[in-house]
Amino acid sequence: MDITDLTACELIAQLEQRQLSSSEIVDAFLYRIKHLDSRLGAFLHVDEEQARRRAAEVDRRRQAGEKVGPLAGLPIAIKDNICTCDQKTTCASKILANFQPPFDATIVRRIREADGIIVGKTNLDEFGMGGSNELSAFGPVRNPWDPDRVPGGSSGGAAAALAAGMVPLSVGSDTGGSIRQPAALCGVTGLKPTYGRVSRFGLVAYASSLDQIGPLGRTAEDVALLLEVLAGHDPRDSTSVPGGVPPYRQLLNNRPEGIRLGLLVDQLGQGVDEEITQAISEAAKVFERLGMPVIEIGLPHHHLAVACYYIIATSEASSNLARYDGVHFGYRTDERAMEEELAQERRLWAEKGLAALPEEPDPPIVRLYRKSRAEGFGPEVKRRIMLGTYALSAGYYEAYYLQAAKVRRLIRADYDQAFSQVAALIGPVTPTPAFRLGEKIQDPLAMYLFDAFTVGANLAGICALALPCGQTRSGLPIGLQLQGPPFAEHVLLQLAYWFQKETDWHRRRPPLTALDRIAAGRGDTP
């Protein structure tokens, strides 16, 4: 038996029956990280020593008959835009390369209290801004199914680590598809909970009205296990919703019979790979076999979702990222070089004015901000800050931000209308499977359009889940998206759970040849 092939729930069962110890489990996954990750790039930081120490501690407590938490002894990876007080939190940005948070995010605290073992922090597109994980300041993540392809993003490290068997559970964040899209491209299951379901305290903000933390696992059951720990009200996040948390894992046993599902036919066909259209149609038949009628349904304003999302998300980002100023924390430019440069500019300006420089030299503090940010942020982050600042600036606010906020309500109303007819929506996660590294990097708009099917759920604040539902002829995973009304996570998880009882796509692992190629890149074989 290969320990790293087991699901989180299977591992828990083995731990409870004393068939395995947490130390054995942690060692097996750490071994895998060691042999694969220098080429895969899924982790930005791994704390082996602490993971082993905590595993031994959980084993000791279990041995002594003490009560242990629901995640006791399981290795878990955390996306590196979520604060951990004992490991750096970089957001894959040079500007936070050495940032050591003074506190734990609420979900990190909850995982620790549930006796989960945080083995490391996973790679992402800088500040969550990207859909391929090529936009990390510390190097791209590769897709375990084909190392020449992207794992998706921005939680690319979280999904790739799972797919490659380096952890049984991981935590990501989803602002416009950042959990679901990499889950789809890497063949794992990932949930974007309803806005307000999970505390965002300690999540580094990108777009505050859209950001949500969520679990990734290999199965719906694993995702339910982790969601139970993550979810719940937190007085430190006023947008987290008061009230209890349903027993998601237990609720999986209820088979959702007789409920109606809506197939998003507009998201199939033109502009979408034929193999994906085919796989989604097959998935719809699986639900019909399970006793759930599927009707065709549309979201009339959904073709506006990408434009709406990129105005709102970048506007919020331009405000949120104002905090990186080279003063309170993070990267600061070389002050002496800056002063010299400014002195020279001031001389030129005094002599020749506009003939020499395009604009008047800044006061030193302003130049410090500008230069620190220019050197600390990557090109996509700058592009989004620029776009958002433009959309909010005098003269453009009404045409862009306000208009997008109105369209947002229309998108939400489409969902409300749809959910008055069906319990959940089914459709694709992405228009194509994983693309090649470098394929879209020169074309920001093409990268944005790849988010067409995922951004709607964030704009509306509803819950949505991605799970594997097929493979292309070339062997790449295809993802199925389930979208449900606010706080219907239990319904989506039930649908995914019963779908996974009928199919085995979630059991497929990346081919050994691909993993061998990954390991070979490092010069040794596991």
Partner 1 sequence: MRSLAGSPWFGTARKRRGVVPQMSIAPEEVRKVALLARLLLSEDEVAEMATQLSRILAYMEVLRSVDTSQVEPMAHPLELVNVFRDDKVRPGLAREEALKNAPKHDGECYLVPAVLGPV
Site for partner 1 in 329-388 (CB under 8 A): 329-332, 335, 338-339, 346, 358-359, 362-371, 373-374, 377, 382-383, 385-387
The alpha-helical segments, DSSP class H, found in 76-231 are 106-113, 156-163, 180-186, 220-230
The alpha-helical segments, DSSP class H, found in 96-139 are 106-113
Assess 419 for contact with partner 1 (CB under 8 A).
no
The span from the CA of 347 to the CA of 238, in Å, is 51
Question: What are the two backbone dihedrals, phi and then psi, of residue 360, each rounded to the nearest 5 degrees?
Answer: -65, 140
Which residue among 19, 63, 254, 393 contacts partner 1 (CB under 8 A)?
393
CB of 102 to partner 1, least distance (A): 4
How does DSSP classify residue 400?
I
Task: Give the DSSP H/E element, type plus range, for residue 250.
Answer: helix 248-251
In the numeric block, which tokens belong to residue 111? 């995982």
Which residue among 269, 355, 420, 524 contacts partner 1 (CB under 8 A)?
269
Q: Length of the chain, please? A: 526
**Active-site entry in 22, 154, 173, 315:** 154
Q: Which CB, 53 or 109, lies closer to partner 1? A: 109
CB of 400 to partner 1, least distance (A): 7
The contact pattern for partner 1, residues 294-333, with x = CB under 8 A and - = no contact, is --x-x-xx-xx-xxx-xx------x---x--xxxxxxxx-
Assess 243 for contact with partner 1 (CB under 8 A).
no
Q: Which CB, 16 or 443, lies closer to partner 1? A: 443
Which residue among 56, 241, 259, 441 contacts partner 1 (CB under 8 A)?
241
Q: CB within 8 A of 329, min separation 6: which ones?
A: 96, 99
CB of 401 to partner 1, least distance (A): 9
Which residue among 72, 137, 460, 469 contacts partner 1 (CB under 8 A)?
460
By C-alpha distance, which of 472, 482, 434, 444 is closest to 184? 434
Q: How far is CA 398 from the centre of its chain?
A: 31
Q: Which CB, 161 or 284, lies closer to partner 1? A: 284
CB of 248 to partner 1, least distance (A): 21
**Active-site entry in 132, 178, 199, 240:** 178
CB of 343 to partner 1, least distance (A): 8
By C-alpha distance, which of 411, 431, 430, 423 is closest to 483? 423
Assess 403 for contact with partner 1 (CB under 8 A).
yes
Window 167-226: residues binding partner 1 (CB under 8 A): 195-196, 209
Residue 187, amino acid = G
Assess 17 for contact with partner 1 (CB under 8 A).
no
Window 70-99: residues binding partner 1 (CB under 8 A): 98-99
Assess 444 for contact with partner 1 (CB under 8 A).
yes
- Cβ 5 vs Cβ 499: under 8 Å: no
Sort residue 39 into left (φ over 0), alpha (ψ -120 to 50) or beta.
alpha
List 237's β-bridge partners, or say none: none
Which residue among 110, 408, 440, 506 contacts partner 1 (CB under 8 A)?
408
Q: Which CB, 364 or 521, lies closer to partner 1? A: 364
Q: CB within 8 A of 235, min separation 6: which ones?
A: none
Residue 8, amino acid = A
CB of 189 to partner 1, least distance (A): 23
For 170, other C-beta atoms within 10 Å of its C-beta total 29
The span from the CA of 315 to the CA of 285, in Å, is 41
By C-alpha distance, which of 498, 526, 512, 517 is closest to 220? 498
CB of 61 to partner 1, least distance (A): 30
Which residue among 128, 152, 427, 461 contacts partner 1 (CB under 8 A)?
461
The contact pattern for partner 1, residues 270-289, with x = CB under 8 A and - = no contact, is xxx-----------------
3-state secondary structure of 55: helix
Residue 18, amino acid = R
Known catalytic membership, residue 79: yes
**Active-site entry in 22, 23, 79, 173:** 79
CB of 131 to partner 1, least distance (A): 15
For 14, other C-beta atoms within 10 Å of its C-beta total 18
Between CA 401 and CA 414, with CA 172 as vertex, the angle to 5 degrees is 45
Q: How many residues bind partner 1 (CB under 8 A)?
A: 91
Window 118-147: residues binding partner 1 (CB under 8 A): none
Residue positions annotated with a catalytic role: 79, 154, 178
